Structure 1
Amino acid sequence: MFLTLTTTGTPTSPATDLGFLLHKHPDKAQAFSTAHGTAHVLYPEAGTDRCTAALLLEVDAVALARRGRGKGHGGAPDAALAHYVNDRPYAASSLLAVALSGVFSSAMRGVCHARPDLPEQPRPLRVEVPALPARGGADLVRRLFGPPGWAVTVEPVPLDTAFPAWGDSRYVRLVLESDALTVSEALRHLYVLLPVLDDAKHYWVSSDEVDKLLRAGDGWLAGHPEQKLITSRYLSRRWSLTREAMERLELVRLAEADDSEVEDIDNAVAAETETEERPAPLAVQRRAAIVAALQESGAARVLDLGCGQGQLVQTLLKDPRFTEIVGVDVSMRALTIAGRRLGLDRMGERQASRVKLLQGSLAYTDNRLRGYDAAVLSEVVEHVDPPRLPALEYAVFGAARPRTVLVTTPNVEYNVRWESLPAGHVRHGDHRFEWTRAEFRAWAQTVAERHGYAVEFTPIGPDDPEVGPPTQMAMFRNSTDAHDRKTGTGGKKEAEAA
């Protein structure tokens, strides 16, 4: 039972970079023990122009039979011979998928400490599986591997070449080719879809298989047209697990749909010629402006209040200057999606120590939020009913009282620049209001005066001379901190305190 993974080199990236990605040296043949045999990794060819890695799995059929999980026994006494005479040593199945995850675990996660730039780079890939059981035939193979981005070649294997009238077997020879996928994506596709095509697993499927499926399916399974079939077969048709997986995938799909809807309107422009470069989505510009303001403030410990599905938290985690990042949201559903987006369950200990997700309402004071350098309310205030704004104001500026507070909110005057937005409509169905620039400034200045902050305003997005920017941001600084910054005494006070 084996498969090969081949890549070709480019002027800037030799093909032997595959060794870095797989964490296996091209000049060595290595062997790894598995629960059902020995996995070998070797390189039939390893040059700068072309490099091939092969995974060969030697299955111990006797040991597999003794565990009572051999394929084909069916539980019937007269099928005992099938424990020993079956396709398990030869045809790609869940045995090979488990070997893939064990031998190439770092590559599947997209981790490469020696060359951290490599895992995110798509590269020319060719995967060959000589013997693949395909319950559903060649058409199903194409339907499964085509949507994630593979060019699929499937050759049915005849039952016997000497007797063509017998027809084809249920096995195929599979070749996958792509120039747009990463090695991590390729391995995760194989990990899920090999046992799906075999429609059987050699081990008992428990509830943790749902987490494995969603980890390996991150980024491609939620939108796959054969999602239901993949989920059902991967989980051995266990109805309760399949339902749980489908519900969690639907949450992911809805989250992605919400993001795309927001970014569609955020990225709208009045007129765009074919030669004009498409601008970055407003959501991306907004996060960049927030990060820049936090960096300028010197904040290290940051609250993301109303963090939603964790987009800003994810961005902040990429900057080591932010040593503690706390996302707070009233919705457990949003926090669950945020946790999956961040990959908290597979995050390293050091990185995990920097981030925390808390459920809480911004309408109430919360002692857990005291003592932070900065707090961000990004596109939050417009979701709060106006009578409850004073409660939010006190909870953030009066009780939590971070040194810096950033508030972003839509500028309703800019809405006329979006032809896709009907007149008189707000940008999102959950917005309770949208402020003009004057209304936002009046609210922010009142809040600043009431709680001892200084405030300044920054446009985000194109600043239209008539209607202003699409997003407006207020940066509140504790008055003492703002005075120290102007007079240059902040550093002196810190030194004296030290």
Structure 2
Amino acid sequence: MLLTMTTTHRPATDLGYLLVKHPGKVHSFDMPTGTAYVMYPQADDDRCTAALLLDVDPQRLRARSDAFELGQYVNDRPYAASSLLASALAKVFRTALRGASRDRPELAGTAIPLEIHVPVLRGTPDLVTRLFGPLGWQVAATPIPLDPALGGDSRYVDLHLTGELRLADALNHLYVLLPVLDDGKHYWVAPDEIEKLLRSGAGWLAGHPEKVLIARRYLAHRKSLATTALELLEADLPAPTEEEAELPVARKAPLAGQRRDAVLAALAEAGASRVLDLGCGGGALLTALLKEGRFTEIVGADVSSHALDIAARKLRLDRMPQRQRDRIRLIQTALTYRDDRLRGFDAAVLMEVIEHVDLPRLPALEASVFGYAQPSAVVVTTPNVEYNVHYEGLTGMRHSDHRFEWTRAEFTAWAAAVAERYDYTVTVRGVGEPDETTGSPTQLALFRKI
């Protein structure tokens, strides 16, 4: 089982620093199913190729359940790229997968010309292209013919990928998509596989047009795991049944991005520098806040410790420079209870949060945020239910966890009542491309303390 990576970045031998494997040596690693080797068939300033060879030992495949007695010996595991090769990638190139390099840190964060070759891979040219094409690769997947006596093509392809990407991104694409194409993991898939998928898919999986297929196959068609993974991905990009559903008219930009931009604009309008992201979830808004230097203190708060863990990984808090790390912290709290840690801020954001609260509990949230924490400004966004008629196939609310969705009149009335009760002024506006009859898909209210 073979995979090669080639670069023409000069000096090309810097590939050895990125992979943390010296080009002048042959490196070997013991694996549960055999031995992995890393070697360099070519290594000079103009061109450098690193090869990962996995020598599978049939004796170590005994734990697999096969259809016949000699199944552990008569199979394609030693030759066709699969989850076995992905596991070898994770062990052998662990540092490179993280995008870290002690010797060439700047290069690790730079896109370089890369050529990936996988000589034998399960899959059709169409599927391989659908998976790798959206990630910036030029894909050449050539079917491998069967024996001439049989005629036709086999179920395998010879894959060549070319592109200019960060090496870490390339390795993470392979780590996720090789098992997806193989569609037969060699080990039991447990819930911790969700974390591996989200970690390796950070920055690209949420927006991939085949993310549903990827999640299902990567998680061995375990429906509950795939559903959970896809729901967590919504922190970056809502599923098609929500705000990002395909509409009959072209969109200028994804609604999730427009909503974040609208929130950032409202915070700038309020002159805020110390900001609370209440119900921060997986950290989509936190990432945008960190990019804005005017926000000197950022706090992400959520009732779910799991969501906070995802946000921490997404933000890469463990590797963040100390100066940046001092600007942000994550806390676990319930928004329906008073919390002294939330007091004294310039602004608080409730972005797509209130509709997840049971209506009888909403007054408790209002009292906690507007009455007790009392930030100088509060930004609230929520779906406009009138706009739902534009989402083809949507028969209920935009998300299964929504407790309610309001019309524009209902949201305006609620905002006015809260403002009067807690001494705020409020302005309400739409977010997203407006329709003449139904208005914009999202509603935003900016509260300012009197």
| TM interval, short-chain normalised | 0.5 to 0.7
Shift in CA distance, 319/18, structure 1 to aligned 2, threshold 3 Å:
farther
Shift of 1:114: 1.1
Partner of 1:55: 51
CA distance in 2, matches of 1:463, 1:349: 38
Q: Deviations over 1:215-246 (max 9, x none)?
A: 445615973547545533xxxxxx8xx35433
Partner of 1:405: 377
Shift of 1:31: 4.6
Structure 2: 5+ residue stretches without partners: 134-138
**Structure of greater Rg:** 1
Local SS of the residue matching 1:148: helix
Shift of 1:287: 2.1
Map 1:223-372 to 2 at 5 A: 223-225=211-213, 228-232=216-220, 242-252=222-232, 256-258=237-239, 261-263=242-244, 279-281=252-254, 283-292=256-265, 294=267, 297-300=271-274, 302-307=275-280, 310-319=283-292, 321-328=295-302, 336=306, 339-340=309-310, 343=313, 348=318, 350=320, 354-356=328-330, 358=332, 360=334, 362-367=335-340, 369-370=342-343, 372=345
Q: Deviations over 1:182-208 (max 9, x none)?
A: 654542343244456667767776664
Local SS of the residue matching 1:165: coil
CA distance in 2, matches of 1:73, 1:257: 38
Local SS of the residue matching 1:54: strand
Shift in CA distance, 368/155, structure 1 to aligned 2, threshold 3 Å:
same
Map 1:71-470 to 2 at 5 A: 92-110=81-99, 113-115=105-107, 118=110, 126-130=115-119, 132=120, 134=122, 140-142=123-125, 144-150=127-133, 151-156=139-144, 164-165=148-149, 172=156, 174-177=158-161, 179=163, 183-194=167-178, 208-216=192-200, 219=205, 220=208, 223-225=211-213, 228-232=216-220, 242-252=222-232, 256-258=237-239, 261-263=242-244, 279-281=252-254, 283-292=256-265, 294=267, 297-300=271-274, 302-307=275-280, 310-319=283-292, 321-328=295-302, 336=306, 339-340=309-310, 343=313, 348=318, 350=320, 354-356=328-330, 358=332, 360=334, 362-367=335-340, 369-370=342-343, 372-381=345-354, 390-402=363-375, 404-409=376-381, 420=390, 430-435=404-409, 439=413, 442-443=416-417, 445-449=419-423, 455=425, 457=427
Does the aligned pair in 2 maintain the 1:223–1:253 contact within 8 Å? no
Shift in CA distance, 79/251, structure 1 to aligned 2, threshold 3 Å:
same
Q: Deviations over 1:32-79 (max 9, x none)?
A: 44224453253736667xx553223364x7xx57xx624699799x96
Letter in 1 for 2:318: G
CA distance in 1, matches of 2:432, 2:301: 28
Shift of 1:174: 1.4
Shift in CA distance, 4/473, structure 1 to aligned 2, threshold 3 Å:
same
Shift in CA distance, 206/415, structure 1 to aligned 2, threshold 3 Å:
closer
Letter in 2 for 1:348: D
Letter in 1 for 2:40: L
Does the aligned pair in 1 maintain the 2:13–2:45 contact within 8 Å? no
Shift of 1:249: 3.4
Local SS of the residue matching 2:365: helix
Shift of 1:460: 6.5
Shift in CA distance, 442/173, structure 1 to aligned 2, threshold 3 Å:
closer
| Structure 1 position 476 matched with structure 2 position 445 | no
Does the aligned pair in 1 maintain the 2:5–2:49 contact within 8 Å? yes
CA distance in 2, matches of 1:436, 1:399: 24
Shift in CA distance, 281/226, structure 1 to aligned 2, threshold 3 Å:
closer
Shift in CA distance, 262/228, structure 1 to aligned 2, threshold 3 Å:
closer
Shift in CA distance, 292/385, structure 1 to aligned 2, threshold 3 Å:
same
Does the aligned pair in 2 maintain the 1:383–1:432 contact within 8 Å? no
CA distance in 1, matches of 2:433, 2:64: 70
CA distance in 1, matches of 2:416, 2:84: 65
CA distance in 2, matches of 1:21, 1:318: 32
Shift of 1:264: 5.7
Structure 1: 5+ residue stretches without partners: 9-13, 135-139, 233-238, 273-277, 480-498
Local SS of the residue matching 1:149: helix
Does the aligned pair in 2 maintain the 1:456–1:474 contact within 8 Å? yes
CA distance in 1, matches of 2:415, 2:70: 79
Local SS of the residue matching 1:307: coil
Shift in CA distance, 322/117, structure 1 to aligned 2, threshold 3 Å:
farther
Shift of 1:106: 4.3
CA distance in 2, matches of 1:261, 1:201: 31
TM-score with structure 2 length normalisation?
Answer: 0.66
Q: How many residues align?
A: 418
Does the aligned pair in 2 maintain the 1:382–1:409 contact within 8 Å? no
RMSD of aligned C-alpha atoms? Answer: 5.5
TM-score with structure 1 length normalisation?
Answer: 0.61
Letter in 1 for 2:219: T
CA distance in 2, matches of 1:204, 1:386: 42
CA distance in 2, matches of 1:92, 1:339: 32
Sequence identity, in percent? 32
CA distance in 2, matches of 1:98, 1:17: 26
Shift in CA distance, 475/116, structure 1 to aligned 2, threshold 3 Å:
farther
Shift in CA distance, 227/426, structure 1 to aligned 2, threshold 3 Å:
closer
CA distance in 2, matches of 1:396, 1:55: 57
**Larger relative contact order, structure 1 or 2 (CA cutoff 8 Å, min sep 6):** 2
CA distance in 1, matches of 2:390, 2:72: 67
Partner of 1:490: none
Shift in CA distance, 199/192, structure 1 to aligned 2, threshold 3 Å:
same
